[in-house]
Structure 1
Amino acid sequence: MPADTQAPPVHRAEHDVTVQAPADTVFGILSNFAQWPRFFPGTVHIEPLGTDGDELRIQVWRAPEGPAGGTRTWVSRVALDARRRTMTFRQEKSPAPLAAMSGTWRVEPLGTDRTRIVLTHAYQLLDESDRLAVDALIDRNSDLELGHLRDAAEHDHRTGPLTVTAESATELPLSAEELYELLDAAVPDATTVRVGVLGRRVAERHFTADPALTLDASVLDLTPTAAGVRLTVRRRAVLAPGEGATITALRATTRARLQKEATMTVQQLTDKAGSATDLLLYTEVVRFYARQAHLLDSGQAERWADTFTEDGEFVQNARPEPWIGRAQIRERMRTGLDRIAGEGLQRRHWLGMVDLVSYDEETVTTHYYAAIYSTVENGSPQVYLSTAVDDVLVRTPEGLKVRHRLVSHDNVR
């Protein structure tokens, strides 16, 4: 018999609420994605992904159970019709137990300051045995969303927007990707849910128990610049409704707190970025020295000399004459390595205790120890030299290079 390819049945639901506010006020809140966390329970962030024809693609993150539960995400396509005051939506790939989900929001004026909001759903299930549970969930969520949207519209119409914002910004000497990794590695506190858009943005919703706030959220935007990345921390809260004088005072204290927190976040990340910059530079320097040692110990005098600048200097306290210029450094080291090979010796350079004495955008000065081991065939390794080295490294289009090196042999005073 042929396989049953019949599509699952489409189930429908409709919910509505009446709002004491103008239809334009209601639709203005509904069509502003930044407002969605106010009335979609557990919404952490909405990220616009661009347009496809007449549709907007958005990614939605929700934590329905707050920090204690998991975060769900999906991509929806949304079509807004401001003239008809409608918003249709459909999920590109619905999370289980749904096979598909779509619907429409309709904002219908009932008078100058009275509006009806209608929310319809059409959905299919992966397993029809989930029908009762999904129906109950849609009923509960629809009533919550409509109720929150009603409250938001009525409060905004009566007292003006209850949203309070603050921001702080700085520029950091990291790439956007490096700063994103730094943010992603940090563990949020127990009341916060964090989501991210790779290399671009980190969004947080703070599920606080503060009864004075209905929403507490943060967005950290990362914008690449010529010098690194511009970090902008945006804090946003929505006040719970109250009396006029109370709201005025609460708005002022909340704005001051948000500004303090935004500024503090920028300062903390500036400090961390500085530490991260130190670590990245330290890693770069140590890798440079490792490559130099490998080239030297494998007899590649020419490539080793190329790690010096054209006018580089190699100075040893055990030798009266310094080697000046890359050409002379190459020639002298080639002669020395040929002699060592002719004697049947294998030399190994071991570097350690690398200290970045100072650095800026162009120059790095270092101090470190270098021990050289010498081994003959079938023999035991012997310490040939113990030294301390002082380098001046410079940045070039090819990477770090040595401009000046002083090797101080421990057995020479």
Structure 2
Amino acid sequence: MKDVEHTITVAAPPETVYGIIADTAQWPVHFHPTVHVEQLERGEGTERFRIWAVAGAEVKSWTSRRELDREALRITFRQEVSQPPIAAMGGSWIMKPLPDGGTEVVLRHSYRAVGDAPQDLAWIDEVTDRNSRTELANIKALAERAAEREELTLSFEDTVLVHGEPSDVYDFLRRAQDWPDRLPHVSRMALREDEPGVQIMEMDTVTADGSRHTTSSVRVCLDGDAKRIVYKQTVVPPLMTAHTGVWTVAAARGGVSVTSQHTVVIRPEAVAGVLGEGATVADAREFARTALSTNSRITLEHAKAFAEDREAERTARSRV
């Protein structure tokens, strides 16, 4: 096993830092490499979850178990199921109180490569170092801006009721490669799915004024009882520091409920440059909500029409 350690000093109390690291549900919003966390088990002082994260040019997934000790300000973790080239990975987060009221955050990793191959170990070294530095910098920024976080974070959703089959709606949303032919605001889509259910996509959208915007995202398609597609923008617009979302398709009274949910974090220092002098964070929140909700509503309405057309075709065939 190879042992590495990364540290950072944070001008915030240890309890604040601990809370950020302990809340895995918010990791996709807080940490750039994390795409999605699916909670599998949770008990007093322990949890087990599956995580999808960007590692280099790939998306890796693994299952981890964590032990959380709030009094000791320590969280230990161990990957139960790792993905090659990682053979084993574990470590700990330690929050050390400083005399000035701040915190020294220590992140330790112990890992081994499959077959102890030198080139694989070098890849793990590079990814672990880059992701650790990124996570620690994010934690520092989050903890030191804890008072602003609520104002900067915005979550909202749009829902439509579809008179059709859940599988048809899910098919429309999952097959994003067909969106340039199906959605008026999508002009280009480059999508690859190296692992079933994990999609890496680059999309060009056209706004009402005719301008084009390119976004890059990772999507994880979860085909359970309530079908979901969770996603994270890996390259965000200048106005945001993070953008995550979920498409949810579920049976509902009278049909199928389809919901688009967004969570965004505003970049306050970019507001004036994007929206003009005098613009506020409140203006940025409204701008982001309007832009994202408009595109979501268009997609929802087209998914509804697609599923209801298919349902009408089935009904017509059954009467022949």
With the shorter chain as reference, the TM-score category is 0.7 to 0.9
Match of 2:306 among 272, 280, 290: 272
Match of 2:74 among 77, 81, 86: 86
Instruction: Kindly indicate whether residue 91 of structure 2 is the aligned counterpart of residue 103 of structure 1.
Output: yes
- Count of matched residue pairs: 274
Moved more, 98-107 or 267-276: 267-276
Identity %: 30
Structure-2 residue corresponding to 1:198: 223
Q: How many Å apart are 1:127 and its aligned residue?
A: 2.9
What's the TM-score once normalised by structure 1's chain length? 0.59
Contact 1:77 1:92 in 2 (8 A): yes
Match of 1:248 among 282, 303, 308: 282
- The residue correspondences of 1:121-140 to structure 2 (distance < 5 A) are 121-128=109-116, 129=118, 130-140=120-130
Q: How many Å apart are 1:39 and its aligned residue?
A: 4.1
**Secondary structure of 1:71's aligned partner:** strand
What do residues 252-273 of structure 1 show as CA deviations (whole Å, max 9, x unaligned)? 3222323333333322222222
Match of 1:224 among 251, 255, 272: 251
What's the TM-score once normalised by structure 2's chain length? 0.75
Structure-2 residue corresponding to 1:25: 16
**Alignment CA distance shift 1:163-1:70 (3 Å):** same
**Secondary structure of 1:101's aligned partner:** strand
Contact 2:55 2:127 in 1 (8 A): no
Q: How many Å apart are 1:17 and its aligned residue?
A: 0.8
Q: Which runs of 5+ in 1 are unaligned?
A: 1-9, 286-363, 367-413
Match of 1:185 among 175, 181, 190: 175
Q: How many Å apart are 1:53 and its aligned residue?
A: 8.1
Contact 1:39 1:146 in 2 (8 A): no
Q: How many Å apart are 1:234 and its aligned residue?
A: 0.4
Root mean square deviation of aligned Cα: 2.8
Q: How many Å apart are 1:85 and its aligned residue?
A: 3.2
Contact 1:233 1:265 in 2 (8 A): no
Contact 1:74 1:95 in 2 (8 A): yes
**Alignment CA distance shift 1:20-1:213 (3 Å):** same
User: Hey, what's the Cα distance between the residues in 1 that align with 2:45 and 2:101?
Assistant: 30
Instruction: Kindly indicate whether residue 162 of structure 2 is the aligned counterpart of residue 172 of structure 1.
Output: yes
What do residues 224-264 of structure 1 show as CA deviations (whole Å, max 9, x unaligned)? 33444322210111112428964332223222323333333
User: Hey, what's the Cα distance between the residues in 1 that align with 2:248 and 2:70?
Assistant: 29
Match of 2:147 among 144, 157, 165: 157
Q: How many Å apart are 1:202 and its aligned residue?
A: 0.5
User: Hey, what's the Cα distance between the residues in 1 that align with 2:111 and 2:66?
Assistant: 16
**Alignment CA distance shift 1:11-1:163 (3 Å):** same
Q: How many Å apart are 1:282 and its aligned residue?
A: 4.5
Structure-2 residue corresponding to 1:144: 134
Q: Which amino acid aligns with 1:157?
A: A
User: Hey, what's the Cα distance between the residues in 2 that align with 1:108 and 1:156?
Assistant: 18
What do residues 33-69 of structure 1 show as CA deviations (whole Å, max 9, x unaligned)? 232124433322112223478532222122345xxx4
Q: Which amino acid aligns with 1:260?
A: T
Contact 1:43 1:64 in 2 (8 A): no
Contact 1:195 1:202 in 2 (8 A): yes
User: Hey, what's the Cα distance between the residues in 2 that align with 1:176 and 1:219?
Assistant: 16
**Alignment CA distance shift 1:183-1:112 (3 Å):** farther
Structure-1 residue corresponding to 2:27: 36
| Structure whose CA Rg is larger | 1
Structure-2 residue corresponding to 1:262: 296
What do residues 351-388 of structure 1 show as CA deviations (whole Å, max 9, x unaligned)? xxxxxxxxxxxxx5x5xxxxxxxxxxxxxxxxxxxxxx
Contact 1:21 1:157 in 2 (8 A): no
Moved more, 184-193 or 137-146: 184-193
Contact 1:166 1:262 in 2 (8 A): no
User: Hey, what's the Cα distance between the residues in 2 that align with 1:125 and 1:164?
Assistant: 40
Q: How many Å apart are 1:146 and its aligned residue?
A: 0.6
**Alignment CA distance shift 1:159-1:141 (3 Å):** closer
Contact 1:38 1:149 in 2 (8 A): no
Contact 1:235 1:262 in 2 (8 A): no
Q: Which amino acid aligns with 1:120?
A: R
**Alignment CA distance shift 1:167-1:134 (3 Å):** same
Q: How many Å apart are 1:75 and its aligned residue?
A: 1.8
Contact 1:174 1:228 in 2 (8 A): yes
Contact 1:25 1:157 in 2 (8 A): no
Structure-2 residue corresponding to 1:334: none
Contact 2:61 2:82 in 1 (8 A): no
